A and B are shown apart, each in its own frame.
Chain A
């Protein structure tokens, strides 16, 4: 492939890059990992462009590649805990909204986000990915199964376990309020 092909490819994916980056942020939980995942995704997409079926939707195809790259990345991070980014996206988001006038509410919200983030970190890569796609992205279970490349029942089981972890950790927090 030539430089010209690369430019055409980049202009094609440019309109999806923002979406992909945010999906990666939601799955990985931090900005640096998300950048790495998007880069890996675009590289894989570019190298396997001939495998793109013309009848398929480009975003769906990129989505599938991104989800698999994110899964690989999460598995690698779990094997090497030192690779964890010390600045999770939840903290970045909290800084972004810190101009809000209610400090008590802000503190509670920051604490809540940190707790959610901590629970998400205890999820296995598949639990985290399937839950993110269902809960944050609104994909149906069968769509997630196709994206991740596992069966419908496996997808359900991973989501059930993810939700169970969230409930166990967060429901006491709710009831204390």
Chain B
């Protein structure tokens, strides 16, 4: 047996070396170098003693009682009307934002100086999930109150607006249907919400496993979208190959099943971790809601757009995909796809960060996270430019 490492010595000190306990002990009896190292560790840790036990006072109990009374009385105040209005305003104004985006795109094609208008229009069209995150971060949701339910419903709809809008437009085009869908969502949010299960541990495991399948599929597609920034024809070639792969019965079945599992398990987690001040958890939930709507819209697209018709060749798709601002319909797809990339990268980035914490120090993980944000921002900008028709090679 080679010399024991620091980690082995620590585990042995705490009696956590499991089946290796006897083996390590025997080694310590025969290897003087390891025995000295262990003795030094044990002496240091043995001298690290806890602070003396401190008694609490009656005053402390009184303070706790007072604090609980005051804060429990003021807990989850009714959501204020401006916040309810804010979250519902986003889907209500969404068709207008798309018109602004489309008009900005047309103008930019004629006069390059109008390009910032496209960026502004796009920022407005993509604002829904960010506004929802801001509102959820400020307001506590208590489902016993009607205003809270309407607020939470509005936040969900605002988060998923680009996907929901496309879905409604594909089922029944026209503004009337969009507002009818919003009215239906508002009415549904008035009803009592189902409670989330107490334990979501196993749900989370299933959620992560199915996410792994979709991640492989999504990452290749995002990478291919970036290839589109270089050259439209390269994108078309790669897309042809990818479509061949995921149209195989096993791949198609795995993708559809994973998508369904993602949506169902995501729904059971619902708003479990959403609370004021918890930015990361709130954005994680919102990106999850967005991705659920994205998957539904994406999965139903072939059935709604061209039922019974053979899929278009990759070159035709590429030509449409990379000139989204040319038509009003295309303009609606731009925020949908771009937010899909943002939500996907944030969602998997959060899980990757948690996984990294298992192996790296927090400071290292923080530095890696900053690097990850930079890479993700570059990916989003590259995909955005490609979708707007900007390519390195024409």
**Taking beta carbons and an 8 Å cutoff, which residues of A are in contact with B?**
1, 3, 6, 9-10, 14, 17-18, 21-22, 25-26, 29, 31, 35, 38-39, 42-43, 46-47, 51, 53, 89-90, 92-93, 96-97, 112, 116, 124-127, 134-136, 140-141, 150-151, 153-154, 156-157, 159-161, 163-164, 166-167, 170-171, 174
Contact = CB atoms under 8 A, between A and B. Distances in A.
Contact of B47 (A112, A154, A160): A112
B54 A174 contact: no
Contacts of A174: 40, 43-44, 47
A116 B52 contact: no
B52 A97 contact: yes
Contact of B54 (A22, A116, A124): A22
Nearest to B53: A22
Contact of B65 (A6, A161, A171): A6
B68 to A, nearest CB: 6
A151 B55 CA distance: 33
B358 A46 contact: no
B72 interface: yes
B69 interface: yes
B51 A126 contact: no
Given A18-B56, A96-B52, A97-B52, A171 B68 contact: no
A167 B48 CA distance: 11
B6 A136 contact: no
Contact of A31 (B11, B54, B65, B358): B54
Contact of A25 (B47, B54, B68, B363): B54
Contacts of A29: 51
B359 A135 contact: no
Contact of B48 (A1, A42, A124, A166): A166
A156 B7 contact: yes
B361 A124 contact: yes
